[in-house]
Structure 1
């Protein structure tokens, strides 16, 4: 009798941690472990702003899946549809071939994509901070704007090149704006003829407060830090429309710029829409045990699942954070193993470890286990937390070494050009149009069952 098949979709925090834990819990040969991921690494998303600013190299925040997972088969591709009735997942491999993966237990951790809203121009001219490619593109692009401004003799073009807009006053947006503003402030000193006063960074958010999760005191402290550096923060304001060289805000201001960085929230992976299951604001509704009601053998966690927050009670659901995703990965692994062994499942319950926000240099605000810290103590806590959360020794060493080098030698202002001709829309980077409809999923699964073949398609996952 063949061993049960456990299929994990997604190699992020939740998926990788689940697979890693299952390898430890299960005995050799007790189950077939397979993980579907378009990338061969787990991306440590909280440090992407530092990759975008060049403080960290991309390799520092990319933990190789094959270094962490020794007994799990990794399928290089993306899941583009799920047929829960047939217990099958359609996978589009990176070479374009579409295959059907059957399962006995399915762990859905497909993550999230950048939430766009229906704002004219955002889909064409905005870039997010969700992938390594986006972070690399942002760094090249920001430095190229300084080069283009230095090359231009048109004052209006110079103004537009040296004005930057970041939308989203959460952790990702605030840290991205803070780090990139520090980068351009240091870089412009090396450009002869460029007036540093022309560089303007705008942080825009519809919310009335910056990072409200921090509380009033720490939120106001973070606001004062970035404003003292020269960052222009506009709260209660959003984007009305965007063009190639302007961003129009809802308060009527028209900002001439060629850079729109979009971090205004996340939406669950479009993969969720291929299932016929109940959702909560697009996230799969799950039981406290992380099982999907009505779908046999299906678990869901991370950004794509509306996991009940038992610590808060009521209708509260866990926020889409790395901290929750990692812990849910451990809990899901234990429950999958329990289901395999015919044992009762345990509900996911957590104790909040707090929040950390790294604003660059020695500036940070942190709230570890409820203790409010600012300045250097907060920065020490923030960086210690990140080093602890990185899953391998080499990743920790690279990250710590990069921080040390940056502190001693300062920033480098190198435009590699690798991303120069790459399409730069959210859809290009995050592949939001790569998914099948439920009807297409059922058709392909049925064809596979009948022994029909499916011709390879063009690759959608790089």
Structure 2
């Protein structure tokens, strides 16, 4: 169904839907293993880059350049056909996908092997005011916007004479105490605390940082003792941690919590988990109770020999823990992508696929500059050693040698220079000043 090779034989097309962790790593490995006349690899994603999500908190805090947290798909997948578009529908009987490009009419694309790697999206709830006032934290755009927003609120607080406006500007609420939420609030509080040095009339104690978690503990991926240590460390920095508490409303930025707490906050960040991308409902494949694509241990979708899935959006049995599913983590995603690529190559060449099995080695989390927690190979670390392990592990996992060097360069420069506390909120509205000038000129005419 792909294009014809030099000898006139049709080259099979491997269609990879999604250019995130699983999509990019799978495509990269397939391209390394298959010759150019063995298969045509097509990657479809609405973004032209892959985001290394574990580094989003550091990008938001200014410890890493945002450009170094993303990997351009076309640069890494030179032999692949990369389409900046969406797959809106798949006809499994005809083996055809409907492609919706960023401009122009939709069209159909045939495939021989299909990899579903659309990942997950933020899991939100119908809370009044959340859609209008909440900020997500899953993509690089959101990390940059959040950094600009926090520093912009500090600008407002440093300038206004209205105490109510100042208090609202310096109140920051984060919902969700998993890795994303804890790392985000820890890194951004650390950045804002450092930024206070250039704001003479803002002290760290003037700011109010609140972490809201619905369960009885934070960081469920690590042992309870490390979660308790993290709460203690955050509270030492003045961050309020509210467990067994839910967000009930945030209409007009008036935050109301289930424990009766009320506050007005200009910053409301939602990090309360993820759910499978709902687009898979139109892909003609079996789904689990929570909307994940049902896949077997070989990463083949149930009922199909030539459809594959892995990562956050897939329900894959964890052979290392019988009866359980693989957790939605970067650790599993990267390793699943490797096995998935090998299995697709085997299928193209007429061999049997192998099962995926990996024992989770543990987790690491950053709590700001030189602070962290780690639970790896039954070894628990805190403080600087855990922070160093966090950076070392994720630096090793960042794809491409180019990106690794750029990340190391950012960290090295940070040893000698303070991070820039500059908010560029206006960058999200680049035409405002020009439009105003043009409007004034039109009035004058």
Normalised by the size of structure 1, how large is the TM-score? Answer: 0.88
- In the alignment, the residues of structure 1 paired with residue 105 and residue 239 of structure 2 have an alpha-carbon distance, to the nearest angstrom, of 47
- In the alignment, the residues of structure 2 paired with residue 58 and residue 313 of structure 1 have an alpha-carbon distance, to the nearest angstrom, of 39
Whether the aligned pair in 2 keeps the contact of 1:14 and 1:329 (CA below 8 Å) is yes
The reply to whether residue 39 of structure 1 matches residue 47 of structure 2 is: yes
Partner of 2:437: none
Shift of 1:68: 2.0
Shift of 1:419: 4.5
The reply to whether residue 58 of structure 1 matches residue 66 of structure 2 is: yes
The runs of 5 or more residues in structure 2 that have no matched partner are: 1-8, 431-445
Deviations 1:134-157 (A, max 9, x none): 111101111110111122211111
The runs of 5 or more residues in structure 1 that have no matched partner are: 423-462
- 1:286-365 aligned within 5 A: 286-314=295-323, 316-365=324-373
How many residues align? The count is 421
| Higher RCO (CA-CA < 8 Å; seq separation 6+) | 1
Deviations 1:105-134 (A, max 9, x none): 100001111110121221221111111111
Partner of 1:436: none
Shift of 1:308: 0.8
SS across alignment from 2:339: helix
Partner of 1:284: 293
Partner of 1:370: 378
Shift of 1:34: 0.7
Flag the 1:292–1:258 CA change in 2: closer, same or farther, 3 A.
Answer: same
Partner of 1:260: 268
Partner of 1:24: 32
Whether the aligned pair in 2 keeps the contact of 1:160 and 1:258 (CA below 8 Å) is yes
Shift of 1:26: 1.4
SS across alignment from 1:214: coil
Partner of 2:283: 275
- In the alignment, the residues of structure 1 paired with residue 211 and residue 383 of structure 2 have an alpha-carbon distance, to the nearest angstrom, of 21
Deviations 1:178-197 (A, max 9, x none): 01111111212322333432
- 1:386-397 aligned within 5 A: 386-397=394-405
The reply to whether residue 220 of structure 1 matches residue 199 of structure 2 is: no
Q: CA RMSD in A?
A: 1.6
Shift of 1:352: 1.8
- In the alignment, the residues of structure 1 paired with residue 330 and residue 237 of structure 2 have an alpha-carbon distance, to the nearest angstrom, of 28
The reply to whether residue 383 of structure 1 matches residue 391 of structure 2 is: yes
Whether the aligned pair in 1 keeps the contact of 2:50 and 2:73 (CA below 8 Å) is yes
Whether the aligned pair in 2 keeps the contact of 1:137 and 1:419 (CA below 8 Å) is no
- In the alignment, the residues of structure 2 paired with residue 75 and residue 420 of structure 1 have an alpha-carbon distance, to the nearest angstrom, of 25
Runs of 4+ in structure 1 deviating by more than 6 angstroms, as ranges, are: none
Whether the aligned pair in 2 keeps the contact of 1:189 and 1:196 (CA below 8 Å) is no
Whether the aligned pair in 2 keeps the contact of 1:140 and 1:419 (CA below 8 Å) is no
- In the alignment, the residues of structure 2 paired with residue 246 and residue 96 of structure 1 have an alpha-carbon distance, to the nearest angstrom, of 42
The reply to whether residue 76 of structure 1 matches residue 118 of structure 2 is: no
The reply to whether residue 247 of structure 1 matches residue 242 of structure 2 is: no
- In the alignment, the residues of structure 2 paired with residue 357 and residue 197 of structure 1 have an alpha-carbon distance, to the nearest angstrom, of 25
- 1:377-456 aligned within 5 A: 377-421=385-429
